[in-house]
Amino acid sequence: MNVLLPQPIEVEAVRRLEEAGHTVVTAPDPTPETVLPLMKNAHAVVLRTGITMTRGLIEAADDLRVISRTGGGFDNVDVEAATDNEIIVTSNLGVNSISVCEHVLAMMLSLAKQLPLLDRAVRNDNYSIRYQNLSRDLNGKTIGLLGLGRIGFQVATACASVFKMRVLACDPYLADEIKSQYTDLVAFVDKKQLCKESDVISVHVPLTDETHHALSTAEFELMKSEAIVINTSRGPVIDEDALIDALEHQIIGGAGLDVQNHEPPDPKSPLLKLDKVLLTPHSAALTNECVIRMATDAADRTIEVLSGKKPLNVANPEVLGAQRWQHLASS
């Protein structure tokens, strides 16, 4: 069967698909105009983040069976359209947890220790900055986690064990029975208390109508003047204009942003001019090891569907009730 790659994926994953007997077709580029005619004969799509699988693209396929995301999110898949057309959508929940956690820790340390600022100063012959800008310890401080999913839990565990940090979490969607398992590690609080008491706030929620601008002016005004905000989830979870204002007026101490409202950010964005902002290009999960895991796991989900097995991590499980999927056996 034909597996379409709107963007190239790692050779290990391509090899796995080919060894399973499938033909891999890679688009020359991930624009809708290029991908659209390739959809017609696709039985599966292995999808990275460079293109959105819209209803138009989905319905251009004659016999599309599965859209397999390499990552854990579905921002770039019209899941409703896939469900309407009885197409399975899968993801890789948890595959990037360790890699993103390490990125959060790197940003947290870089900002607390003011590494970018100190590096630039030394390069500019300002060695005396060592007496002017004292960095901060993380040991014994408080980290607040907005969202306690797989990544948030990894961050909580690392901060508590390595830095002896107090861990707060706000996650109203987490079931009480799940929360009860973490009480030795995490104190669950509301967002207001989390903002007031945390020295570092790390965002780990999906982008939904409820989480859009979850951190805005009101939240920043509650924070400590030296608080560090880190976002490795989705840009619009933070009100970027409010964040810029909070940083410019020294309401908070710094921000580490792997995601922005616009990616790439506008070259004129004030974020690019602020010393206490650390920016990375939505790359927290893009370690060598993690991209191989993501690609090969997505290939495995694809192979499962095309070989008549029920895949792991189905985003639209209701589609499995369709007649076309009654033959699926448990993986």
Catalytic residues: 234, 263, 282
Residues paired with residue 3 on neighbouring β-strands, in sequence order = 24, 44
Q: Where do the H-state alpha helices sit in 70-165?
A: 79-84, 97-112, 115-123, 150-162
- Kindly write down the DSSP assignment for every residue of 294-308, as one continuous string: HHHHHHHHHHHHHTT
Helices (H) and strands (E) in the chain, counts: 12, 14
Q: Is 44 helix (H, G, I), strand (E, B) or coil?
A: strand
**CB count, 10 Å around CB of 179?**
14
- Name the one residue in this structure whose structure tokens are 């005619």: 37
Q: Which residues 6+ apart lie within 8 Å of 162 measured at CB?
A: none
Q: Which residues partner with 254 through β-bridges?
A: 228
Q: How far apart are alpha carbons 282 and 265 in whole angstroms?
A: 11
Residue 17 identity (one-letter amino acid)? L
Look-up of token digits 């964005």: 269
Which stretches does DSSP call E strand in 111-253? 142-146, 166-170, 187-188, 200-203, 228-231
Bridge partners of 310, per DSSP, are 330
**In this structure, which amino acid lies at residue 49?**
T
Q: Report yes or no: 324 and 83 within 8 Å, Cβ to Cβ.
A: no
